[in-house]
Amino acid sequence: GQPYKKCVLISLVQWIKDRLYPRPHRRGLTCFLRDLLGVEDRGLKKFSTEQLFEAAASGDIMMLEGLHEYLHYSERKLSDSLYASNGKNVLMKALLNLHDGKNKVVEYLLEISSRMGDVEVFVNAAYKDVYYEGHTSLHIAIERRSIEYVKLLVSKGADVHARAFGKFFQQQKGPSFYFGELPLSLAACTNQPAVVDYLMENEHHPADVRQQDPRGNTVLHALVLVADNSPENSRFVTAMYDHILTATAHLHPKWRLEVVKNQQGLTPIQLAAKTGKIDLFRHILHREFQSGPTKHLSRKFTEWVYGPVSSSLYDLAYLDSCQEESVLETLVYGSDIPNRHEMLTIEPLSQLLDEKWDRFARYIFAFYFLSYLVYLFIFTLLAYNKKGGEPPYRIKNTREDYLFLSGQVFTGLSSLYFLIRGIFDMWRKRPRLHTLLIDGYFELLFLLQAVCFLLSAWLYLSSRQEYLGFMVGCLAMSWVNLLYYFRGNKHLGIYSVMIQKVQRRHPDSMRGLRTWTGCSTRLQRHGGPHLYTTTGTEGCQKPTYRNFSYTTLELFKFTIGMGDLEFTEHYKYKEVFYVLLISYIILTYILLLNMLIALMSSTVDKITKESTSIWQLQRAITILDLERSLPGCLRKRLRSGEKKDLGLGDDCRHCFRVEEVNWNKWKSDLGIINEDPGSGNSPHHSASNPPSERETRGLRNTQPRPPYSTEMRPLANTSPV
């Protein structure tokens, strides 16, 4: 019959089509021939994209009954773009709608896709929307914390190195979550150690822990970036960081994951320092493993223990300033790190800076201080013994004139040095406005001092008397800049910081100044011109209260209690003038000034602690500045720490020794290096360990440092232990 002929014709066309057309282009021709020949899909249920998404969201597989027959008959697949919206397919929809961690539609869809032969394409489909671009089903399963579906997807061929690089997954303002794009990084940043282990160890396609995103960040870098210094976050981030390190050490013993740098040239510890992640940073510095296979991952090694006293060796790799992009330089010069002064108090950085100061920095600083005193003394003598007449003054063939000329040349060269150094320091540190107090306060003052002197010299050589004003300003600023050298002493340094803070941002002094200005202006307006009457004496030049500058000066004298209440007959209404003046004295001298003193005293108490940390940071900046001024060979000889063979095979590290006192934790079960306490500081050497060349030169401080207490600092400072 007619239907039989049509079926034969369709079969013939199908045979020809299989040989002339590749499979991806057959579907349209088949449907066209069926419609042309009038073959009906009797009893076949059709499925649209909306129906598939609805079934995936509900989790009801009965709604998908007949899907496989429909796809087979229509020669379609679940991976077709027809069943996706901006790359989001029905599998993603099902994974986004888990009920108690399950959705039977997921298994059903994967089974159908496997039978259709496109399961790998199906599970690796990714979002095309610019906001979620690259997001795959594996990312969704990890984000939904479903390890069962993670295992299922990986077994079906999911790409464990798929990258989610949409805007939502980048570091930006607004709603976003950066995790490093990779599935392994997502599992780590969402605290799923079981998923991390499976991705690294699965038999289908193990994830490479060394994989980097376009920024060069590995999973360890991603953990650093998601840390936020909160207690809950810090606990899981530090635990996950160690978990990945130990797992990598067991799977790939030769891999050194912590030495991998991102595109900024930063390792994870350097990135933690640069971003101010203090809890993770402290954990990395103090990380100590006791077992053999992971002991090489330690950065801290306990050398000996006796009761509460212990000596530890800290690995200085990437820490000391002798290396490029060192942690110490990052913290000291990182003006955008808000808590860098706190991070510098973490051991071994604190004692490392102390040793640098004691070993060489304080001597160089003292030399610079004495040199500046010589400059200040000569400059003051020149200003005090200024010659008369028109500048430039003629130099006669006398001893005094030659000394005067020598002093001028010396101060000129010194000012040129201050100018060059100030420009270089400001360019290198580039302090921001909110960190100017720490990073560039005195650098800016020294720069202004040099500019004032050079302007004065130019006016002097141009025969202008105005040079004197710039010279006086430069001299005054030179004496003020003597405060810079106060940072060499703790108490004077803290006092100097407090002065800077008051000058820069003290709100009480500004409020008091505004109030005094307002009171003075009102009294001048209402008291001076209206209460004063003139006489006929024309030759009198004595200033009166009709003069604005004279009135301001007299009112200031009243403010500090030095005014003169003498009145003459020149005042028309002496009683009114007397009332106004006495009211002004009561308001400013008795009330306002005393209130301002009380407010400033309260503020000083509040900023004392902050000033101490700022002084420590300023001293650290000075230490590194002085170290940079040394030649390379001398810097190498003065390097802190010592080479130490830690007994871990070929693992010789440059370490720094720190003695600590901890009364809260008795360390009796640690894998110590030396059994005898104090042996690390002993001057005796065995035959197998001869003294180093640096020790024989006398550059190593052989006296043991006073123990540092991490728990009871006051006791450690006063105890002779």
pLDDT digits (tens, 9 = 90+) for 652-706: 888 888 888 878 776 655 555 555 555 555 443 433 344 444 343 333 343 444 4
Please tell me whether residues 229 and 186 are part of one structural domain. yes
Q: Give residue 91's Cα distance to chain centre.
A: 41
* Rounded Cα distance, 640 and 635, in Å: 10
Show Cβ contacts of residue 246 under 8 Å, excluding neighbours closer than 6 positions: 289, 294, 297
Is 261 within a domain?
no
The predicted-structure confidence for 313-357, as pLDDT tens digits, reads as follows 898 888 888 877 889 998 988 878 888 888 998 989 999 999 999
Q: What's the average model confidence in pLDDT over 631-649?
A: 80
| Residue 99, beta-bridge partner list | 102
Show Cβ contacts of residue 666 under 8 Å, excluding neighbours closer than 6 positions: 307, 308
667 with 302: CB under 8 angstroms? yes
Please tell me whether residues 36 and 102 are part of one structural domain. yes
Domain's final residue, options 243, 269, 287: 243
pLDDT of residue 101: 87
Task: Specify whether the backbone of 291 is left (phi greater than 0), alpha (psi in -120 to 50) or beta.
Answer: beta
Show Cβ contacts of residue 619 under 8 Å, excluding neighbours closer than 6 positions: 353, 357, 487, 488, 493
Q: Is the peptide bond before 392 cis (omega within 30 degrees of 0)?
A: yes
Is 499 within a domain?
no
Please tell me whether residues 69 and 101 are part of one structural domain. yes
The pair of structure tokens assigned to 686 is: 């065995």
Q: What confidence tier does 17 reach under pLDDT thresholds 50, 70, 90?
A: low
416 with 446: CB under 8 angstroms? no
Please provide the DSSP assignment of 324-372 as one string. Answer: TT-HHHHHHH-TT-TTHHHHTTSTTHHHHHHHHIIIIIHHHHHHHHHHH
Domain's final residue, options 628, 658, 691: 628
Q: What's the average model confidence in pLDDT over 151-155?
A: 94
Q: What is the DSSP letter of 229?
A: S
Please tell me whether residues 474 and 586 are part of one structural domain. no
Expressed as residue numbers, the domain containing 367 is: 352-488
% of the chain surpassing 70 pLDDT: 72
Please tell me whether residues 89 and 224 are part of one structural domain. yes
Higher per-residue confidence, 613 vs 363: 363
Which range is least confidently modeled, 71-75, 558-562, 715-719?
715-719
Is 117 within a domain?
yes
Q: What's the average model confidence in pLDDT over 236-243?
A: 94
Straight-line distance from the first to the last Cα atom of the chain, in angstroms, rounded to the nearest whole number:
110
* Rounded Cα distance, 184 and 276, in Å: 24
* Rounded Cα distance, 645 and 364, in Å: 33
Show Cβ contacts of residue 628 under 8 Å, excluding neighbours closer than 6 positions: none
| Residue 89, beta-bridge partner list | 84
Higher per-residue confidence, 703 vs 15: 15
204 with 221: CB under 8 angstroms? no
556 with 625: CB under 8 angstroms? no
Q: What confidence tier does 615 reach under pLDDT thresholds 50, 70, 90?
A: confident
Provide the 10 A C-beta neighbour count for residue 76.
Answer: 16
Is 549 within a domain?
yes
Which range is least confidently modeled, 33-47, 137-151, 180-194, 386-400?
33-47
pLDDT of residue 693: 41
* Rounded Cα distance, 129 and 53, in Å: 18
pLDDT at residue 715 is higher than 50: no
Task: Specify whether the backbone of 307 is left (phi greater than 0), alpha (psi in -120 to 50) or beta.
Answer: left
What mean pLDDT, rounded, does the chain reach?
78
- 641 phi, psi to nearest 5 deg: 85, -170
Closest to 363 in 3D by CA, of 155, 371, 273: 371
* Rounded Cα distance, 227 and 222, in Å: 9
* Rounded Cα distance, 542 and 570, in Å: 12
Task: Specify whether the backbone of 473 is left (phi greater than 0), alpha (psi in -120 to 50) or beta.
Answer: alpha
H helix intervals, 252-348: 268-275, 278-285, 327-333, 340-343
H helix intervals, 104-209: 104-116, 119-123, 137-143, 147-155, 183-189, 193-201
Please tell me whether residues 384 and 434 are part of one structural domain. yes
In terms of C-beta density within 10 A (0-12 exposed, 13-18 middle, 19 or more buried), how is residue 612 classed? middle
* Residue 185 belongs to domain with CATH number: 1.25.40.20
pLDDT of residue 637: 87
pLDDT of residue 496: 76
Please tell me whether residues 394 and 435 are part of one structural domain. yes
pLDDT of residue 46: 80
Is 288 within a domain?
no
In terms of C-beta density within 10 A (0-12 exposed, 13-18 middle, 19 or more buried), how is residue 128 classed? middle
| Residue 654, beta-bridge partner list | 643
* Rounded Cα distance, 186 and 164, in Å: 10
Q: What's the average model confidence in pLDDT over 393-412?
A: 85
For 316, the 3-state DSSP assignment is: coil
pLDDT at residue 193 is higher than 90: yes
Is 276 within a domain?
no
pLDDT of residue 713: 36
pLDDT of residue 309: 85
Domain's final residue, options 243, 271, 291: 243
Is 634 within a domain?
no
pLDDT at residue 708 is higher than 50: no
pLDDT of residue 705: 46
Q: What confidence tier does 528 reach under pLDDT thresholds 50, 70, 90?
A: very low
Please tell me whether residues 420 and 374 are part of one structural domain. yes
pLDDT at residue 43 is higher than 60: no
% of the chain surpassing 90 pLDDT: 27
Radius of gyration of the chain (CA): 39
pLDDT at residue 558 is higher than 80: no
Q: What confidence tier does 433 reach under pLDDT thresholds 50, 70, 90?
A: low
Please tell me whether residues 49 and 146 are part of one structural domain. yes
Higher per-residue confidence, 252 vs 47: 252
Is 501 within a domain?
no
- pTM equals 0.74
pLDDT at residue 308 is higher than 70: yes
Number of domains in the chain: 4
Show Cβ contacts of residue 473 under 8 Å, excluding neighbours closer than 6 positions: 452
**Between the CA of residue 596 and those of 114, 201, 661, what are the distances in Å?**
81, 68, 44
Q: What's the average model confidence in pLDDT over 471-487?
A: 88
Helix 574-585, helix 507-527: angle, nearest 10: 180
**Between the CA of residue 199 and those of 28, 512, 666, what are the distances in Å?**
40, 65, 39
Please tell me whether residues 578 and 484 are part of one structural domain. no
The pair of structure tokens assigned to 219 is: 């999973």
Q: What's the average model confidence in pLDDT over 379-399?
A: 80
pLDDT of residue 610: 72
Please tell me whether residues 42 and 162 are part of one structural domain. yes
pLDDT at residue 569 is higher than 90: no
258 with 244: CB under 8 angstroms? no
Please tell me whether residues 179 and 111 are part of one structural domain. yes
